[in-house]
Amino acid sequence: MGVQGLTGFVEERGAFFTELRVRDTKLVIDGSSLYHRLCFASAVDFRRGGDYGAFAAAVRDFFGSLRACRVAPFVVLDGGRGADDRKLPTLRGRAAERLRAAHGLSRGDGGCLVPLLTREAFVQALGRLGVPFVQCFAEADREIAGLANRWGCPVLSLDSDFCVFDLAAGYCPLSHFQWQSVCAGEGAQGCYVPARCFSVEKFCRHFSHLNKGLLPLFAVLNGNDYIDLAALEAFFSKVRLPRGCAAGKGGKHLRLQGLLSWLSQFAERAEAVDSVLKYLKKHQREEIRELLCASMEDYTPSDVNLEDFFQNGKYECEAARKAEVPQWVLDALAKGKLAPFISDALILRSTFLHVQVENMQRPSAHSTALPIRQVLYGLLLKVSQNTEAVSPSKQTSELPGVCEFDRLQKTLKKTFVQAASLPTDFCDDHFPLDKLTEMPMSCRQMLLLETLGVKTSFLESIPSHLQLPVAVTCYWIRCSEPKVKLHQLKALLLMIVSGELHRITNDPDPTVLHTEDYSIAYNEFLKWKEKTWQNKDFDLDAAHSFCQWQCCLQMGLYLNQLLCAPLSEPDLSSRLYSGTLVHRLYQELKSTPSVENLFSLSPKMTQLYQVMLNTVES
């Protein structure tokens, strides 16, 4: 993320930072940077699809440290790609990088990969902890900067774009935010988080007192997530940049340093832009000027009033109004009750499906969940069937569709997917997307369960918070290719039971009277977990099957959210899925079938396992 090479350059020279003791303040947090950072810090195994319980514990500990230092966090998350879709080339590049990382991990190489449901687990954890958060309509950077300046507090992120914004109280990189080493402090002031704050003044002083108003031009010329102009190479090939401090560490950042030194000769931005354009062909100049000026606007703090959202729950922005999205959808997006995937499908008719560590010789794990996505697209796009936006479907009377970016073996491929035609209740003019919330709950639940191929009566014996995962598991058993093995199913259900046992033991509901002591069974389970795992071989085919289940769960979650939660949303942070555990259970069930009796000391947990197994098998 951010300005190419700038993080490395700034990190190599500690001189651009000031020491900071973070306490008794508001703090605006870049949610995307934070969940990536905590995910990579908490994960020990990136091959087996994520351990969301450990990740949620890291999120809890992080905000616990802030609370101890009386820091009031406000988390701001990126939304969808936005109607202009300017970052599409960058996002395609990142998807290709992710695919390379996943392939490397599948072969046993090292590397990191954010598990599929990490973002959903993060949003749920924020809700459980009562941390205020907002999901922006599109990219969050400008809104983060606007809110931090309104409140005069720092920004916490790991995005070098914040070195360029003019921030009243500065930018704290997450790499220097020592939340795990809270200091006691002196006297009445109390404890604090040791941190470092990037000083734009020190940075500009280093480059001959560069006008900080020129930093956006530097970012755009150097290349960022939005602009990487081949046309600007003509400028770099002709201009004579100062050599800067070329010796030693500066070698790999020569162009960056030279560009900053060259810009320091200009007093104003317009003068610097004119000088850049002189090096380009005359017929290109006005077009490039417009592009440079538009791109520099990305570093102007937004006028979206996030303070109003955090105080009154109102999120209003011009881009959202122009997109003509139903108000209830906008509200749900801002509150994180709908994922950015939904806004991308609705506004751009284009989505990215994130690859996992799967068998690259097989079709993408996401192909199993295709029928669920088609129903999602049917719900979202029927709103537009009478508008000009769908003129091709008018002419051909075909259903509208969405372009999906997904894996085809080891490459990224774009595929057109047709939306599903919905039952007549949902196609009725009385229930377009903007009226979906008014449809009877029984109808919404019926569409969800019909999509997953499950009858309502099947789920009656399942606890309400597990009904969606069990329905998704029924769908997975029916639709997966190759077919799910019995040991894989049993491993998955035993994993869900272990999550239930952990939840009941560690976070008991005071309103529920428990008739048995769950802690004995839980301690036995922990003893089993602590035993050395003998067979740590990585089974790629089993991994592929569990990836398919996560894809089905993700789209089941999204469909349930779009239908305004006819089923309870399962809590990912309560160890609903643990990749390390499900792989271990699968391997041990093959060699030691008695592992199926792991929870025999708890009649309730044994009964839960049997009920789920019978439901899925029937």
- Say which CATH number the domain at 193 has: 3.40.50.1010
Residue-averaged pLDDT of the chain: 91
* 556 and 451 together in one domain: yes
Tokens 């990305």 found at = 298
* 238 and 100 together in one domain: yes
* 311 assigned to some structural domain: no
Q: How many domains does the chain have?
A: 2
Question: What's the whole-model pTM score?
Answer: 0.93
pLDDT tens per residue across span 313-352: 999 999 988 988 999 999 999 999 999 999 999 999 999 9
pLDDT tens per residue across span 273-302: 999 999 888 998 998 899 899 899 999 999
pLDDT for 392: 42
- Taking the C-alpha atoms of residue 511 and residue 67, their distance in angstroms, rounded to an integer, is 27
- Is residue 532 exposed (0-12), middle (13-18) or buried (19+ Cβ within 10 Å)? exposed
pLDDT for 386: 39
Q: How many residues does the chain have?
A: 618
* 340 and 295 together in one domain: no
- Taking the C-alpha atoms of residue 551 and residue 557, their distance in angstroms, rounded to an integer, is 10
* 388 assigned to some structural domain: no
At which of 248, 280, 299 does a domain end? 299
Highest mean pLDDT, choosing among 133-142, 235-244, 533-542: 133-142
At which of 279, 299, 319 does a domain end? 299
Q: Is the pLDDT of residue 390 over 80?
A: no
pLDDT tens per residue across span 22-46: 999 999 999 999 999 999 998 778 9
pLDDT for 243: 67
pLDDT for 391: 40
* 236 and 110 together in one domain: yes
At which of 280, 299, 318 does a domain end? 299
* 108 assigned to some structural domain: yes
Handedness of CA 222, 226, 228, 231 (dihedral sign): negative
- Taking the C-alpha atoms of residue 196 and residue 555, their distance in angstroms, rounded to an integer, is 40
pLDDT tens per residue across span 145-184: 999 999 999 999 999 999 999 999 999 999 999 999 999 9
Q: Nearest-5° angle of CA 593, CA 595, CA 596?
A: 80
Task: At 365, list the tokens.
Answer: 């794990």
* 519 and 608 together in one domain: yes
The single-letter code of the amino acid at 97 is E
429 vs 375, higher pLDDT: 375
Q: Classify 306 in phi/psi space as left (phi over 0), alpha (psi -120 to 50) or beta.
A: alpha
Q: Is the pLDDT of residue 393 over 80?
A: no
Question: CB of 65 within 8 A of CB of 179?
Answer: yes
* 349 assigned to some structural domain: yes
Which band of pLDDT confidence, cut at 50, 70 and 90, is reported for residue 575? Answer: confident
Question: CB of 354 within 8 A of CB of 116?
Answer: yes
* 363 and 488 together in one domain: yes
* 215 assigned to some structural domain: yes
pLDDT tens per residue across span 409-450: 999 999 999 999 887 766 665 568 888 999 999 999 999 999
- Is residue 251 exposed (0-12), middle (13-18) or buried (19+ Cβ within 10 Å)? exposed
* 22 and 143 together in one domain: yes
3-state helix, strand, coil in the chain (%, to 5): 55, 10, 35
Average pLDDT over residues 66-80: 97
Backbone angles phi, psi at 284, to 5 degrees: -90, -20
* 395 assigned to some structural domain: no
* 349 and 491 together in one domain: yes
* 425 and 285 together in one domain: no
What residues make up the domain containing 331?
Answer: 327-382+400-617
* 321 assigned to some structural domain: no
Task: At 90, list the tokens.
Answer: 């960058």
250 C-beta neighbours (distance < 10 Å), count: 17
* 284 and 377 together in one domain: no
What Å distances lie between residue 126 and 64, 106, 123, 252, CA to CA? 12, 31, 5, 39
Which residues, 6+ apart, have CB-to-CB distance to 428 below 8 Å? Answer: none
**Stretch among 112-121, 124-133, 418-427, 484-493 having the lowest mean pLDDT:** 418-427
* 120 and 26 together in one domain: yes
- Taking the C-alpha atoms of residue 442 and residue 553, their distance in angstroms, rounded to an integer, is 21
* 49 assigned to some structural domain: yes
* 354 and 235 together in one domain: no
What Å distances lie between residue 429 and 347, 349, 389, 395, 401, CA to CA? 21, 22, 18, 21, 20
Helix (H, G, I), strand (E, B), or coil: what is residue 442? helix
